[in-house]
Structure 1
Amino acid sequence: MSTAQDTGRQAPDRLLVIGCGMIAREVLAVKERLGLDHLDLTCLPAEFHYYPDRIAPALDKAILKARAEGYDRIFIGYADCGSGGMVDRVCEQHGVERMDGPHCFAFYQGIEAFNAIADGDMLSFYMTDFLCRQFEAFFIKPLGLDKHPELVSDYFGHYEKVVYLAQTNDPALDKVAEDAAKLLGLAYERRFTGYGDLTPSLARVAGPAD
């Protein structure tokens, strides 16, 4: 996915966010809310959520491509995301910055808030707006639960509750999360996070260049 226009070399003041497909809608929502017309977005596949070893190599290629297109300002719309520090190595190599935190579940809640409750959430299965919209495609079908529901306990038996980190107030998504908790046999908790640290982070990096 990309909303960056292919118009040759980009104006120096434009900012390109290279992000995870799982947060594309949210980045665009923040862009609209803050009036960041100079912010462009290109995304890597959301399925990298399952393959964190693919994130850093893909980011490296995406940054090189963006530089060739004339982007001087680039921000990485990923946290570490299970890469074991590889995202940081790519960022250091290219002199770019990424979202703070270990994953999007942390920066949606706010890093300070997440750190305060992280130990208590060790046995929580997080869902976001994206994961609610894609619950069938991201969990049910890949895990074979549509054909073998008896596998639920094998996959989710070590969790205690589903925690829905809601970016928006959407009754349809609430129902998906609640139904998911029932399906998985887990307790349910909803936390409205909005866009968390994504909003101030994009506001900061999209400001005037130093």
Structure 2
Amino acid sequence: MDQPLAGKRIAILVANGFEEVEMTEAQRALLKTGATLHTISTETGLVNGWHGRAWGHYFPVDKQLGDVLGSDYDMLLLPGGERSVAKLQQSAHTRRIVGHFLDAGKPIAAIDQGIQLLAIPGKLRSRTLVAIEGQAETLAQAGAKLSDETLVVDGVTVTARGADDVPAFVETLLKVFFEAAQVKKAA
């Protein structure tokens, strides 16, 4: 069985209220690649997803947000979810980890409201991202170029609009993560 991401560590950053399908579809696909995935959260023990119009399933938290470093991971997944993103935005640890990935040029995949977590002033350096309603001004102020496309790849950064785009988002993030892993192996 081909496992192109064997040995790669992927951080999934969530808090209670994350969009369950945006995390689980990517998680399922990434597990098949041999990658090691860690759910990192502000919550302890379990984190609760949001599914449709109600609370979803509980998922185990592998690491506390304040206890991890961006340098511990090769790739980053930022699912959406209004409640989750609002809570993560309040933490300096979120900015520290996301900032590390942006500065280091490591692969990041963000969907829906998760894109807001990339809005760290000065860190986006003219990266092109999907424009999500209500996020445009904040992302532009952080230096992003915004696109009306539903899915955008800018180097090793993948952004997508939301639930309708999950299959294409997952397919694209796999491609970008595979390519990044191959470049790293060749170096």
Looking at secondary structure, tell me which structure has more helix per residue.
1
Whichever of the two has the greater Rg, that structure is 1
**For the superposition of Structure 1 and Structure 2, which TM-score range results when normalised by the shorter chain?**
0.3 to 0.5
TM-score (norm 1): 0.35
